[in-house]
Structure 1
Amino acid sequence: MRNWPLFDLSITTPLLELRLPSLDDLDELADRATEGVHEAGFMPFFFPWTDAEPAERARSTLQYHFRAWGSLAPEKWSIDFVVVYDGQIVGTQGITATSFAVTREVGTGSWLGQRFQGKGIGTEMRRAVLHLAFAGLGARYATTEAFEDNNPSLAVTRKLGYQEDGITVHDRQGRPAVTRRFRLAREEWAESPGFEIHNLAACLPLLGLPG
């Protein structure tokens, strides 16, 4: 799309393709949300969007991406990729920033359909957006945060070399819950072979960077 080059942006890895979703991609992503993202009785998200009926989870998945498209600006942006594995949409991986041209700092967030977990996909999709951040956008830092009982997310974070950066206490469904914050500096990032960014240059002005 000539006037929205982000739709041409993608990242490929040995296992995955991350791309801005088409409407059909979003429909398939919504199917993953209806199938389930985590075990019952556990809430890994700050906003408990998965605590809903399957049809409502599907709608909220679509609406989240529509809002991200509509609110993207150079001063504050969120790029939310769908993750393609073996020809299927299996989850979503986001990268966000505020005043990136000044801060050179990004955050990440993701979810993966429950039946696709435990295959190394979560680690590789995080590696992909770190490659975009550091190799493509020139970030200095990447941050992430997860509840201290979200062991899969914490395992990915530690595997990729992040350093602990403090804690935050949240109201999680009416109860206090601690999250652990992490930070990865560019100097501590290990580039992985076989990761490629496609069609980034035309997107840079939308992210507050020179084209």
Structure 2
Amino acid sequence: MEGVGGWSWPLHGIRLHTADLDLTVMTEADLPTLWALLPDDLELNPHATTYAGLDVPANRRAVLAQGYWRALGMWSPDDWALPFVVRSAGAVVGAQWLEGPDWRSDRTVDSSSWLVAGARGRGLGRQMRAAVLALAFGPLRAEAAISSAVVDNAPSLGVSRSLGYHDTHRSVLEHSGQTLQHVRLDVKTWDASGRSRHVVVEGVDPALPLFGLDP
């Protein structure tokens, strides 16, 4: 993303590659494509602002756009959220987020993601999560990763468990009453799995100061 005088925001230089996927940090130019692909079964942030004058699809587009702007506009080394666009053979198939909500305190990352219906069931969810974990446990020096999903979301929990996460505890969502299963993965388990070997991470060094890290 080029700016004045050719200057670019360091985060947009980060690139992640797996056997079948390329992940690039989301830009404003990606939003129309992502709006068109948002799955109907994707539950967006229930606490996000909605607008009485907009219909449901327009409100969903607003939640996505404002989430993106908030992530990069309110970035700090203590609390950050990094959104990636996921492409397979050049076509956008989903989005993957990596977050450090209390980063300099606990060095723990969280994640969330979605895939278009036609890209599901092919192991791509596992690859995109592995990609951001390779970034987190590699150049970003994370100590742990957490995630969560409603207890009947077998695909999401299956991805987590296949990558070495273990179940920790359950909680209840206030807005829906659904039960969440929380999971956790530590750096030793990740390193022992050797999965980082299947991910190429590029362009991170210029962005390290934004994570409070020395290059």
What TM-score results when the alignment is normalised by the length of structure 2? Answer: 0.86
| Unmatched tracts of structure 1, length 5 or more | none
Q: Residue 26 of structure 2 aligns to a residue in which SS? A: coil
Determine if contact 2:44/2:60 at 8 Å carries over to the other structure: no
**Structure 2: how far apart are the matches of 1:81 and 1:20?**
4
Whether 2:57 is the aligned partner of 1:54: answer yes
Determine if contact 1:37/1:111 at 8 Å carries over to the other structure: no
Whether 2:185 is the aligned partner of 1:184: answer yes
Cα 1:152–1:45 shift into 2, 3 Å:
farther
| Residue matched to 1:96 | 99
1:159 aligns with one of 141, 149, 162: 162
Determine if contact 1:131/1:191 at 8 Å carries over to the other structure: no
Whether 2:132 is the aligned partner of 1:133: answer no
Give the structure with the higher percent strand.
Answer: 1
**Structure 2: how far apart are the matches of 1:98 and 1:118?**
30
State percent identity of aligned pairs: 32
Whether 2:124 is the aligned partner of 1:121: answer yes
Amino acid at match of 2:126: T
Amino acid at match of 1:204: L
Cα 1:98–1:55 shift into 2, 3 Å:
closer
**Structure 1: how far apart are the matches of 2:43 and 2:163?**
20
2:15 aligns with one of 10, 15, 24: 10
Deviation, 1:44, is: 5.1
Determine if contact 2:100/2:108 at 8 Å carries over to the other structure: yes
Describe the superposition over 1:69-121 as per-residue Cα deviations: whole angstroms up to 9, x where unpaired: 11111111000101111211111111111342331111111111223211211
The CA RMSD measured in Å over matched residues stands at: 2.0
Amino acid at match of 2:99: T
Q: Residue 171 of structure 1 aligns to a residue in which SS? A: coil
Deviation, 1:54, is: 2.5
Describe the superposition over 1:56-81 as per-residue Cα deviations: whole angstroms up to 9, x where unpaired: 32232222111111111111100010
**Structure 2: how far apart are the matches of 1:186 and 1:125?**
18
**Structure 2: how far apart are the matches of 1:86 and 1:55?**
29
Cα 1:60–1:45 shift into 2, 3 Å:
closer
The farther-off stretch of 97-106 and 122-131 is 97-106
> Runs ≥4 in structure 1, deviation > 3 angstroms?
43-46
The farther-off stretch of 59-68 and 155-164 is 59-68
Determine if contact 2:151/2:180 at 8 Å carries over to the other structure: yes
What TM-score results when the alignment is normalised by the length of structure 1? Answer: 0.88
Q: How many residues align?
A: 202
Determine if contact 1:44/1:147 at 8 Å carries over to the other structure: no
